Amino acid sequence: MKTALITGVTGQDGAYLAEFLLGKGYIVHGIKRRSSMFNTDRIDHLYQDPHVSKRNFVLHYGDMTDSSSLIRIIQEVQPDEIYNLAAQSHVAVSFEEPEYTANSDALGALRVLEAIRILGLEKKTRFYQASTSELYGLVQEVPQKETTPFYPRSPYAVAKLYAYWITVNYRESYGMYACNGILFNHESPIRGETFVTRKITRALARIKLGLQDCLYLGNLDSLRDWGHAKDYVEMQWLMLQQESAEDFVIATGVQFSVRDFVNAAAAELGIAVRWEGTGVNEKGYDADGNCIVAVDERYFRPAEVETLLGDASKARQKLGWTPKITFKELVSEMVREDLRKAERDELVKRHGYTAPNHHE
């Protein structure tokens, strides 16, 4: 029986991957940060009481910025596989917190690699680094594949690029099984609420039920290659099951704009959006003429990444992987789940209780 350690287990990918690995019979350990709020929503269904004997899902307190916690946990767990998914993963926030982003995303990856090395686990422990399509930033060719030169455009992307290179360096210099999955955007009903796809499905569901009036977005023309996180975590695992470590692009190869995403999500709710105006004045109206989508310049990034489109031919050829869930199915599932949550809030409110009212 194999043991896996997941950093970032409380995130979208961490939750899907933990569930996937448990299904494969793994013992799964996860690292979570101490927070003043509960932060395990996404994995609460996997939780096992510490009093239960022979647990196969164990959480540890730790932090990517705290090397001694990482070394202690890795020593204790002696994992066969480490999936490094933990990161300050929000591009816009990285402009506000460049130093913390580098500390957790760049130094964090290095700390894990160093821990593997100094604990003498180079031959035992396989390492997966969550790299990102944001590395391509100002894209140098279309579509982007493993050999496309990088051109990062945010502190997040630059920190992730460091982690990418240091993973390659440790593989080549120490012979470690360490690889990068360059994953294009991947979404799901448990995507963080501040990421654009989830922000859209959540807001439209709430607008539908009268809990909210308008959805404010940044660049509606941004083009992205959106897949389903559930498909992508399978790839993360596959990459660690090969003869030798290699880096792979994971993507659907299909591209939509943010506006397309809004239209698709609205359609799932039976709303036809009528667009008027251009640029910052562009607005989306429902059939009754209510403005339900508007542009807010505050969501523009200092440097925009206009277009990302992945070419996952290598993964298809070498790993036999193709994404199973289509864009339409992804949007549909996200809308369905967010509508249920909105219905719950509406119900709670109607009965005189306070419904959660989160803001960015």
Partner 1 sequence: MRTALITGITGQDGSLLAEFLLGKGYRVVGLVRRESWFRQGSSPELPEGVEILFGDMAEGVDIASAIHDARPDEVYNLASQSRPGESWSRAPETLLVNGLGAVRLFEAVRHHSPECRIYHASSSEMYGQACESPQDESTPFNPVNPYAAAKVYAHQMARIYRDSYGLFIASGILFNHESERRPLHFLTQKVAYGAACASLGIATSPATNEMGRPIVEDGVLSLGNLEVARDWGYAGDFVRAMWLMLQQDIPDEFVIGTGTLHTLAGLCEIAYGAVGLDWKQNVVSDPSLVRPLESGQTLANPSKAKQLLGWEPTVSFEDMIRRMVAAQVENLRSLDR
Question: For partner 1, which is the closer residue by CB, 103 or 332?
Answer: 103
Cβ 88 to partner 1, closest distance in Å?
14
Asked whether 58 and 29 are in contact (CB, 8 A), the reply is yes
Quickly tell me which residue has 């939750």 as its tokens.
15
The torsion angles phi and psi of 131, rounded to 5 degrees, stand at: -90, 175
278 binds partner 1 (CB under 8 A): no
**Choosing from 125, 132, 148, 201, which is the catalytic residue?**
132
Rounded Cα distance, 202 and 214, in Å: 12
Compute the chain's Rg from CA coordinates: 21
- Contact flags string 120-159 toward partner 1, x per CB under 8 A: -----------------------------xx-xxxx--xx
Q: Is 170 a catalytic residue?
A: no
Question: For partner 1, which is the closer residue by CB, 110 or 214?
Answer: 110
Q: Which residues contact 328 (CB under 8 A, 6 or more apart)?
A: 264
Q: Is 134 a catalytic residue?
A: yes
Question: For partner 1, which is the closer residue by CB, 50 or 302?
Answer: 302
Report the residue from 15, 74, 102, 178 that binds partner 1 according to the rule CB under 8 A: 102
67 binds partner 1 (CB under 8 A): yes
Alpha helices in 67-128 (DSSP H): 67-77, 91-96, 98-101, 108-118
The torsion angles phi and psi of 133, rounded to 5 degrees, stand at: -65, -15
Rounded Cα distance, 55 and 42, in Å: 19
Q: Which amino acid is residue 316, in one-letter code?
A: R
Q: Which amino acid is residue 46, in one-letter code?
A: L
- Contact flags string 163-182 toward partner 1, x per CB under 8 A: --xx--x--xx---------
Cβ 164 to partner 1, closest distance in Å?
9
Rounded Cα distance, 31 and 275, in Å: 44
64 binds partner 1 (CB under 8 A): no
114 binds partner 1 (CB under 8 A): yes
Rounded Cα distance, 206 and 225, in Å: 26
Question: For partner 1, which is the closer residue by CB, 298 or 358?
Answer: 298
Q: Is 132 a catalytic residue?
A: yes
- As annotated, the active-site residues are 132, 134, 156
Positions that interact with partner 1 (CB under 8 A):
67, 95, 98-99, 102-103, 106-107, 110-111, 114, 149-150, 152-155, 158-159, 161-162, 165-166, 169, 172-173, 301-303
